[in-house]
Structure 1
Amino acid sequence: MPATLTATHSQTCNERLRGAMVAANVTIEGLADRLRIDPKSVERWITSDRTPHARNAHAAAKILHADAYHLWPRLDERRRSVATPRDELVTCYPTRSVVPLDLWRSLLADAVGTIDMAVANPLFLADAVWDLPGLLADKAAAGVRVRLVGPASGSPATVADVFPSLLSVPGIRLAEHGGLHADVVRADDDLIVTTPVDGMAPVLSPVMHLRRLGPAPLTSGYLTALDHLFATATPVRAPRLRAVVA
């Protein structure tokens, strides 16, 4: 039976969190499932007023459309400490083939500011995220910056080949680059990075799920690389239709 959010005042210490969950219609189990943690941890955040780890706090606040420092005021004390690269590592998967399919879509669907994708083989995105063109079109229409860079022309599968419908979508930038190596998918502060291994197919390569924190000691390199790729990539535009003269 789902854990209730209607506990009495004496039982509930973090009323801000409880109220945010009620307002967002998110249960304890639902929030735990989205964060991929034990529901008992979420329950303790409410009943024992425990402050979660920064990466879980920010992820939960994003799901609840709330401010993490409002939900957990003591989180501000931790903000003064310097984040380490290990703090930004949410989890690591031995191969891309075992990354949960719903993770790709949920991160992109939750993005409110930025979606960046740099992929050497766009075909895997088409398999990992159903109706990706529709999702990206909706995000662009909502004001999210959407950028997608793939391999250069002449490759077996370019972004224009795999997602031709995106060529005509306003607000989506498509580009090609000849120097792609690691696949990086960014949704706001979350990144999924496929780390290439020489002689190994990308689907068998290790994957890191990162979340940017503070000065971003680990993610900053990937964020800088994304900006560099888009700055040096060749834009892909929809072909112009020529008028037929009788």
Structure 2
Amino acid sequence: MPVLPVGSHPSRLAANERLRGAMVAANVTIEALADHLGIDPKSVDRWLNSDRTPHARNAEAAAKFLGADAYHLWPKLGERRRSTPTAQDEVVACYPMRSTVPYGLWRSTLAGATRVIDLAVSNLLFLADTVWDLPTLLADKSAAGVRVRIVAPENPAGPVTGLGDVFPSLLSVPGLRLSTHPGLRADMMRADDDLLVTTPFDGLTPALAPVLHLRRLGSAPMVGGYLATLDHLYATATPTRPVASHLRAVAA
């Protein structure tokens, strides 16, 4: 029997034909959507075969994955009581330390960005090991019109040395904003409305600190605070300016 792309009840008319159509158009199965959202496939099946509306966080993430509008897929989403999202609503997951974050989450989060990528990274080597094709991915995103900013700690040997040693090819990517900051002690990765943030405190290195996976919901207070911090960080960082003649010689 062939595997159905969506819906596990072929004899029953799905209650949500908009969601079914979006999944068929995107060639996404129930299992694939559930895996992307980190939920049980039975939940996605219920969305298809009943009038159940998912939590706003899952609805927005599912719609983004399918290239659709959440309020089109679930019209009742807009009928729910309108209240200010709480910090708890923004938390997608919490991991006890960096090594417990699913390995592919770092790259898949960046790969899904369509508007903004911000990297404030205290450990460039960790990022290089985790996202092996990071320079290519960021170059492609920048070429596609995504705003990409990277800030790293200052290196005693020079402002460009740290970034240049770990990601030399990034120095020649047009439109990429590279900078350094002396006060960078934690890690924060933003891709559109998703953030992965380490939360170290005195005596605890970022590698051993808990990691929050956050997703912005409207004027959500927690993500809003982190985004304001990111903007301040970039505003007070020192831009890196690789020597243009050297880059031309390498390219040649």
TM-score range with shorter-chain normalisation? over 0.9
SS in 2 for 1:241: helix
Q: What's the offset of the Cα at 1:130?
A: 1.5
- Equivalent residue number for residue 238 of structure 2: 234
Q: Report the alpha carbon displacement of residue 8 of structure 1 after superposing the two structures with TM.
A: 5.3
Secondary structure of 1:103's counterpart equals: helix
Compared with structure 1, are the counterparts of its residues 88 and 2 closer, same or farther at alpha carbon in structure 2 (3 Å cutoff)?
farther
Q: Alpha carbons of 1:4 and 1:163: their partners in 2 closer, same or farther (altered >3 Å)? A: closer
Partner of residue 89, structure 2: 87
Stretches of structure 2 lacking an aligned partner (at least 5 in a row): none
Matched ranges for 1:1-246 at <5 A: 4-5=5-6, 10-78=12-80, 80-154=82-156, 158-241=162-245
CA positional deviation for 1:209: 0.1
Amino acid at match of 1:183: D
CA RMSD in angstroms, aligned pairs only: 2.1
Q: Deviations over 1:147-186 (max 9, x none)?
A: 0000013179722321111010012111000111221100
Q: Which moved more, 1:193-202 or 1:138-147?
A: 193-202
Kindly provide the amino acid, as one letter, of the partner of residue 227 in structure 1.
Answer: D
Question: If the length of structure 1 is used for normalisation, what is the TM-score?
Answer: 0.93
Distance 1:108-1:216 versus aligned 2 partners, 3 A rule: same
Deviations 1:73-132, CA, capped at 9 Å, x for gaps: 111123722111000000100000110111011110010000001011111111111210
Runs of 4 or more off by more than 3 Å in structure 1?
1-4, 6-10
CA deviations over 1:47-89 (Å, ceiling 9, x no partner): 0121111111110000000001100111112372211100000
Distance in 2 (alpha carbons) for counterparts of 1:240 and 1:171 = 14
Ranges in structure 1 where 5+ consecutive residues have no aligned partner: none
Relative distance call for 1:155 and 1:223 in structure 2 (3 A) is farther
State the one-letter code of the partner of 1:238. Answer: P
Cα offset for 1:17? 0.4
Counting aligned pairs with the same residue, the percent is 65
